[in-house]
Structure 1
Amino acid sequence: MYQILGLVFDGYQSSGIASTFDVFNVVNTLWRQRGDNSELYRCSLVSLDGEITAASNGSRTLADYSLATAPKADLIIIPGIHHYDSKDLLNKLQSLSRECAWLRQQFQQGTMITANCSGVFLLADSGALNSQAATTGWWLSGLFQKRYPDVQFRPETLMVENPQTFCTGAMTANMGVMLQIVEQQVGRQLALACAKTMLIDATQSYASPYMFTQEQAQHEDALILSIESWMQRHISQPLDIQTLAELHCVSARTLSRRFKKAHGISPLEYLQNIRLQHLQLLLKTTSLGIEQLVERVGYNSASSLRRLFKKELGVSPREYRQQHKELTTGD
């Protein structure tokens, strides 16, 4: 029997535990329906002291074990950490230092660990993702890359698998990871039966269409947040600073000054960055031709698009698409 441990703490996202435990419960049920009364999985909760924890939705749960008494696990699940902004998330990570040390110890002992969304930050804090690949919630991309420069960040994907860890950027992907683990441990037939029973689509790999390029801002300037949102919604349109300033009831000089203070770059440079990011996403997830891409991302011509793309990434759009097609299909 496989032992699954869900790590809980005050402010955890309950869906990150409850929904994943449901996968293993359904597998157990399907197994029994086939005539075997034994359980394939046992799911338990572990917290710092084994006492009651309060999830972010207000539900209260008594853990089965403390960190000190927890049994050897075949899998540890880290849920998301509810937070209001970057500062709040970082403060909560600091308060989870003992949980982090426990995770580090479990990882060093060879235990498989999965983390969802903001919970990936706790896994990264443990050192388990050093020189490994990872993803997280799309709005946390900027903060994650800044905090963990040694991690190979892959914001375009919803799920990343390493030899001993899984990282997911969405609850749907988290469910898919549980199915993948079930397949590895007890076979494809049960995993497929569970997916059919729970109507889980485990095939989604990319964060689009849910993710574009809007990350959790590392500033609190409401004006610039509004301008960022406008630019992202109108990515294919030419940038006119004066018109943009008038739309937001400020002068062009004020807009440029505050944008530079918030991002360290000009509005035009920001627009070029998000256009390039959007182009990369379209190349990975669509079969649009070069002329259609030009129209979607607002470049003047196909030649200017190719020239800028080659300058920034070192390969042509066609080469980039082919490289990522091979990574996706495993060719």
Structure 2
Amino acid sequence: MIAAILTLNAGSSSLKFRVFAREGLALLARGAVSRIGADAELVAELTGASQVRSPVAGGDHAAAMQAVLDFIDAHDEGWRIEAVAHRIVHGGTRYTRSTPVTPQVLVDLAALIPLAPLHQPHGLAAIAAARRLVGEDVPNLACFDTAFHAGRDALFTHFALPEPLFEQGVRRYGFHGLSYQWLAQVLARDHPELHRGRVVAAHLGNGASLCAMHQGRSVDTTMGMTAVDGIPMGTRSGAVDPGAILLMQRSFGMTPEEIEDLIYNRSGLLGMSGRSNDVAALLTDGSAQSRFALDFFALRCAQAAAAMAVSLGGIDAMVFTGGIGENAAPVREAILRHMAPLGDFATLVIPANEECMMAMEAAALLA
């Protein structure tokens, strides 16, 4: 019997999973249920084996979770799930490290839904499904995207607003922490001299941000109170003048719900190009709008990198990760061209592995 850890990353219409051996964290299986709420389908594979594809009956995360467990039951090689680790986007100020899920934790995380409306409800739905279907005796662990950024200096956590608002939670939290925590682990293992230095890390995917790291700790980051802030993303706007939001509401008659949908779902690369949020598609398309969207994205990333370098007092390395950061060489090259005034620094591409980071956290909890 192999002691195993299941990791879950729930999105609005997807549930990604991986199964790791508890000892050594070897990857045993991986897959995802996509199009939850429509024609949901499971695509999964054992390590070294061919893919399995099957339709998923039911239209919610519970049905997706059942499909994942059915796959594991049908294809495992004597695995025993000893913990389930969940990616939870927002931990607020209370949860600054991974934590076992309790009824009180669930109440606290539900209260944070307004700060991460696209992510938090689905993470909680995955926890509920796992607790019911895997069994109450198997511990669930909440791993937070905000936790890595806890403990930053107050200069990097405030907005220029009255202090009572900060005390009420209107502050800069930062996200993609599991990805940056993994990068810090890899740098410490493979590039210890850079790990000790001033690193600007860029997690560039459909969600995107940059982080200033020194000695493996977060100093500053581009995202603020919510995961829509900072640089442009696939469908999210990134930073927008607050006055523009007020104008949309007061003069254009847009409701808060319509504005939320605009800045989360219809902006970024998709909104600017008018075509797609997929960088590979935009590079292939080559239209003036697509080129402009990519040029704008690269410029904003470079400007953000310069800001992160200021927070660090210089830059020793630029590290790219995420779907765009790892696979879109023309975008990386454009960002680096804009960063030429910063002088010489090392450039690395490190594959993202938030799931392994979550499994490491779960293994530590079990130990």
Structures share fold, TM-score greater than 0.5: no
Report the TM-score when normalising by structure 2. 0.27
- More strand per residue: 1 or 2? 2
Larger radius of gyration: 1
- More helix per residue: 1 or 2? 1
* Greater relative CO (CA pairs within 8 A, separation 6+): 2
Report the TM-score when normalising by structure 1. 0.29
